[in-house]
Amino acid sequence: QSVLTQPPSASGTPGQRVTISCSGSSSNIGSNTVNWYQQLPGTAPKLLIYSNNQRPSGVPDRFSGSKSGTSASLAISGLQSEDEADYYCAAWDDSLNAPVFGGGTKLTVL
| Residue among 98 and 110 whose Cβ is closer to another protein | 98
- The CA distance from 89 to 73, in Å, is 9
Displacement of CA 52 from its chain's centroid (Å): 10
| Residue among 4 and 76 whose Cβ is closer to another protein | 4
Q: How far is the CB of 13 from another protein (least distance, A)?
A: 26
Residues that bind another protein (CB under 8 A): 2, 32-33, 35, 37, 39, 44-47, 49-51, 56, 88, 90, 92, 96-104
- In degrees rounded to 5, what are phi and psi of residue 81? -60, -35
| Residue among 16 and 26 whose Cβ is closer to another protein | 26
Q: Which residues contact 82 (CB under 8 A, 6 or more apart)?
A: none
